[in-house]
A and B are shown apart, each in its own frame.
Chain A
Amino acid sequence: MEWSNYILLGFIGGGIFFACAAWALHWAVKDGQFNNLDAASTTIFDDEEPEGIMTDAFPDMKRKQKEPPRQ
Chain B
Amino acid sequence: MKEAAASFYQSINPKASTDIAERAKLSEIDASMKWPGLLFIVSGVLWLMAGTILAIIASIKMTNPDFLSAWEWMTFGRVRTAHLNAMAFGWGSNAVFAVGLWIMARLCRARIRHVGILFIAGCFWNIAVTVGVIGILRGDMLHAEWLEMPTYITPLIALSYGMIGIWGIIAFRFRQTDYIYVSQWYILAALFWLPWLYTIAQVLMFFEPSRGTVQSLTNWWFAHNVLGLWFTPIAVAAAYYFIPKVLGVPIHSYYLSVIGFWSLALFYNWAGVHHLIGGPIPAWLISAGIVASVMMVIPVVVTAINHHMTVVGHFKKVWMSPTLRFVVFGAVNYTLVSLLGSAMALRSVNEVTHFTHFTVGHAHHGMYAFFTMLMFGSIYYIMPRLLHREWPSATLIRVHFWTCAIGVLIMIVALHVGGWIQGLQMNDAGNYPDFIDIVRNTIPWLHARSISGFLITIGHIAFAINFFWMTWLELGRRDPEGRPTLFISPEDAR
Contact = CB atoms under 8 A, between A and B. Distances in A.
B179 A57 contact: no
Contact of B26 (A21, A43, A49, A60): A49
Contacts of A55: 245-246, 248, 381, 485, 488, 490, 493
Contacts of A48: 25-27
Contacts of B254: 37-38, 40-41
Contacts of B319: 61
Contacts of B485: 49, 55-56
Interface stretch (B116-124, B320-328, B411-419): B320-328
A54 B493 contact: yes
Contacts of B488: 54-57, 59, 62
A56 B178 contact: no
A41 B249 CA distance: 10
B246 A54 contact: yes
B210 A56 contact: no
Contacts of A60: 394
B355 interface: no
User: Which residue, of B254, B258, B381, has the highest number of chain A Cβ atoms within 10 A?
Assistant: B254
B180 A40 contact: yes
Contacts of B257: 41
B146 interface: no
A28 B258 CA distance: 11
Contacts of B247: 54
B440 interface: no
Given A49-B245, A56-B322, A39 B214 contact: no
A36 interface: yes
Contacts of A65: 316, 320
B196 interface: yes
A8 interface: no
Contacts of B248: 45, 50-55
Contacts of A52: 248-249, 494
B462 interface: no
Given A25-B262, A33-B180, A44 B321 contact: no
A15 interface: no
B254 to A, nearest CB: 4
A14 to B, nearest CB: 8
A11 interface: no
B492 interface: yes
Contacts of B249: 51-52
Contacts of A45: 245, 248, 250
Given A57-B321, A58-B321, A3 B214 contact: yes
A17 interface: yes
6 contacts: A41-B257, A48-B27, A54-B321, A56-B321, A61-B319, A65-B316
B26 A59 contact: no
Interface string B227-260: 0000000000000010011111111001101100
Interface in B38-78: none
Nearest to A38: B254
A71 interface: no
Contact of B490 (A17, A20, A53, A62): A53
Contacts of A1: 210-211
A34 interface: yes
B259 to A, nearest CB: 11
B17 interface: no
A44 B247 CA distance: 12
A44 B180 contact: no
